[in-house]
Amino acid sequence: MGSVGVDLSPHNDNHNVNWFGVVGGLDRIAGHCHASPSHGNVAFMNEAYLSPEEEIIFQRSHRRRSLPGTSSRHRLQYDTNFLQIMPPKDRRLSYLSQKRRLSSPAKLPSPKKKCIRQSGSPVSKTVSPVLFHTKLHAFNTSQLVGVVDALVQCHPEVDQVVRKLITVPDLQTLCDKLACLKHNIYRSLPTVRFGSSRDASCYRRAKVHLSTFKKACLEEGKLLLLSQDWNLLILYVLSAWKYVHGLPDWDDASHNAIKKQCFQTLAAQCMVAIKRKPFDSSSLEDLRKRLQKAVQCSKEIEPCLRYVEKLSASKS
């Protein structure tokens, strides 16, 4: 664009200057610069005045490039002092996974601390003594018998006191144990079966439970025999006789050996108790009636019945 020289001096009388035309030309030049921005006049547009309408149009343009110094984005600044004041991680928790720490209800391990007195010396932990009856729970029957026997020998005056304190053994507990073992035998048998539930295959499944029942039944009778409590032994034999009778009868006769051994051993123990215990006429009659019912379950106890009948005949 060529330069236009105009003398604006008011003393210039040679030419009649149109002032409105000059001002309008300058406005058109300025409007042209605003309407068509280019890379060359970016600095000029940054300082030039924009109308509100032109500014809105300029901001809505998708191809607009951000002008230097006009970006609305601010760079995030981090406080470096925050990282310095953070406490270091506990190395004791490094071996624990995040899932375990979140799911575990247990408390986090804490360092062990020693209790220190005011003087500075560590305090020794005082252990309360264990009660005597608590220690007796760990002893077996033979150990308890030895303890009581040694106590009576060292202090003969407490013999009568101990005899009064010792009560009759609980026979119901022994019967409940036999009932539980018998239930385990029938529980081991199959509930649904096309053939017989007393064949060899079913016997093999119940053999372990049969052996357990036999051991418990005979051991309890043996302990009562050693205690020489003849009346309690007879009551135990008659009670256990019913549980032995309730054992299954197998198709193979050889598989009933355990049941037969229980009957024979109980009958032998009952015979020993009858021979050792003194009877009167009423007690003999009561025992005879109970033995007659036991014979209906098994004839192994029939010798005991004949012996009782012989005693009652001699007393009459």
3-state SS record for 294-316: HHHHCHHHHHHHHHHHHHHHHHC
Q: Are 288 and 309 in contact (CB under 8 A)?
A: yes
Question: Given this model, what pLDDT does residue 219 score?
Answer: 93
* Bridge partners for 122 per DSSP: 116
Q: What is the three-class DSSP state of 111?
A: coil
The whole-number mean pLDDT for each consecutive block of 10 residues of the chain, a chain of 316 residues, reads: 45 46 49 47 52 78 53 56 56 56 59 53 64 80 83 84 79 92 93 80 93 95 90 94 94 93 96 92 91 93 93 83
Residue 225, amino acid: L
Q: Is-contact 193 186, C-beta < 8 A? A: no
What single letter denotes the amino acid at residue 316?
Answer: S
Dist. CA 147–CA 313, nearest whole Å: 45
How far apart are the C-alpha atoms of 102 and 88, rounded to whole Å?
A: 20
Contact residues for 113 (Cβ-Cβ < 8 A; gap 6+): none
Q: Which CATH number fits domain 167-315: 3.30.70.1060, 3.40.250.10, 1.20.58.1590, 3.90.228.20?
A: 1.20.58.1590
Unique residue bearing structure tokens 């230097």: 68
Listed residue (266, 252, 255) closest to 298, CA to CA: 266
* Residue intervals in the chain for CATH 1.20.58.1590: 167-315
For residue 205, list its beta bridge partners: none
Write down the pLDDT at residue 208.
95
What is the model's pLDDT at position 73? Answer: 55
E strand intervals along the chain: none
CA 275 vs CA 155, 200, 268, 284: distances in Å: 34, 40, 11, 12
- The type of residue at 91 is R
- Nearby residues of 48 by Cβ (< 8 Å), 6 or more positions away: 30, 33, 34
Tell me the whole-structure pTM to 2 decimals.
Answer: 0.55
Q: What is the pLDDT of residue 217?
A: 95
pLDDT tens readout for residues 65-111: 555 555 555 555 655 555 555 556 555 555 555 656 666 665 555 65
pLDDT of residue 91: 55
